[in-house]
Chains A and B, each alone.
Chain A
Amino acid sequence: MREIHVDRIIGTVKNLCIKANYELPQDVREFLLKALEKEESEVGKEVIKQLLENADIAQRERIPICQDTGSAVVFVELGQDVHIVGGNLHEAINEGVRRGYTEGYLRKSIVRDPLRRKNTGDNTPAFIHVELVPGDKMKITVLPKGGGSENMGKLVILTPAEGIEGVKKFVIKAVEEAGPNPCPPVVLGVGIGGTFEYATYLAKKALLRPLGVRHPDPFYAKLEEELIDEINKLGIGPQGLGGITTALDVHVEYSATHITSLPVAVNFNCHATRRAEAEL
């Protein structure tokens, strides 16, 4: 058993919330640069230039990349030989979010309940996914998730007969309908299989993968490539103003599923694909 004190978790989560919101990940930056070279639309190029400049200003001047500093989605890979001491994991994560969003001048965008809608004032609670893994380490990833892109997410349960064509059609239609709303160029997480709730979890988890890394299974890697190709033919372009850069990347995750089911979930992330991780 390796002991990890909650104070370390609190501090780490706080720093990750701040880092994610001020520093655009290097892979996202590189993909924007590549898109700038390829984009055919002048307006589209101008938008991408603004986004790159925005990332520079954010880091240099300590202004968040985007004012929607998101829901704090937190993924934890918890080694089963870790013993958390001094408190409990969920409270520690929430305390880290509270401090990060307050001390980091980040926007508080969470309401206590979805119908009466009173702001909690400190961006808690976080949305926490814990996975138990072998070992005695703990990996924490913070994914601040903006509302504009999150609101375009979709889930469908197809029939198995609809197969890969049905999946593609559904994903492309979701992107087409979202148009400019999720701040394209987008990064898409697609979850296929599992159950009703597991497909959506996979779609979100797919957003953690760095841009440009293909699925290890060549079949799904090919599906990712085909989706990227077709989505970029839709013409939506940067900010939806027309162009050939609609998706920077598409990540698919799949899981085993029931003989009668083919769930498909699409989770959108905007060009401000923010994430930061640390290992304890």
Chain B
Amino acid sequence: MGDYKRLKTPLSEDDILSLKSGDRVLLSGYIYTARDAAHKRLLESLDKGEEPPIDLKGIVIYYCGPSPARPGRPIGAAGPTTAYRMDPFTPRMLELGVKGFIGKGKRSKEVIEALKTLKGVYFAATGGAGALLSQRIKEAEVVAYEDLGPEAIRKLYVEDFPLIVVNDAYGNDLYEEGRRKYRKI
């Protein structure tokens, strides 16, 4: 297994440019959860001229709707959700300064293109490894849209969160490359 790259949030443009599809990353620092409903509400409020509830510059968004925390724990199971549902919102999030996205599953052509032109990275976390990933989350706090329950925006402090770069800022796509390499029909 190749070595892990260690990265800290917020991500700089240099961080982004140093990443290639297939790189394995251990991410530490603050990241923010947001799913369909939170994206929708955030962008709608910006359209109305309102301030965003969080500073979006250089942040990493985690597509995740955790299960409830047991007493004494910061969070429940917290693996990634399928990313394509957020595709329509992603180019705009990049324009607003978001640098990284964590989810699972393929992204649209438009997203892959926007990652290239606006310099961002899409990481995959292991889907369904919700218990394992939960243990790498040290703090969690709802910072916006509490009424959305599991879909609220949460600020998480993660340590050594294990990720793999799927779409880098150069237009590469690990899902395509990986599949081609092992395809036998």
Contact = CB atoms under 8 A, between A and B. Distances in A.
A107 B66 contact: yes
B69 interface: yes
A65 B174 CA distance: 26
Interface in A45-59: 45-47, 50-51, 53-55, 57-58
Contacts of B106: 179-181, 240
A234 B176 CA distance: 12
Contacts of B69: 105
B64 interface: yes
Contact of B127 (A46, A183, A236): A183
B128 A181 contact: no
Interface string B2-40: 100000000000000000001010000000000000000
Contact of B67 (A42, A55, A105): A105
Given A51-B128, A180-B175, A240-B105, A235 B184 contact: yes
Contact of B182 (A47, A68, A69, A235): A235
A64 B76 contact: yes
Interface string B148-185: 01100000000000101010000000110111111111
Interface residues of A, number: 52
Interface residues of B, number: 48
> Which of B70, B177, B185 has the most CB atoms of chain A within a 10 A radius of its CB?
B185
A33 interface: no
Contact of A53 (B2, B84, B132, B164): B132
A105 to B, nearest CB: 5
B130 to A, nearest CB: 4
A98 interface: no
> Which of B130, B175, B184 has the most CB atoms of chain A within a 10 A radius of its CB?
B130
Nearest to B2: A42
Nearest to B127: A183
Contact of A243 (B77, B130, B131, B182): B182
Interface string A15-52: 00000000000000000000000001111011100110
Given A64-B76, A235-B184, A105 B70 contact: yes
B75 to A, nearest CB: 9
21 contacts: A50-B126, A50-B162, A51-B128, A54-B128, A58-B77, A62-B70, A64-B76, A66-B127, A67-B76, A67-B77, A108-B150, A119-B149, A146-B128, A180-B175, A183-B104, A233-B185, A234-B183, A240-B178, A241-B164, A242-B174, A244-B182
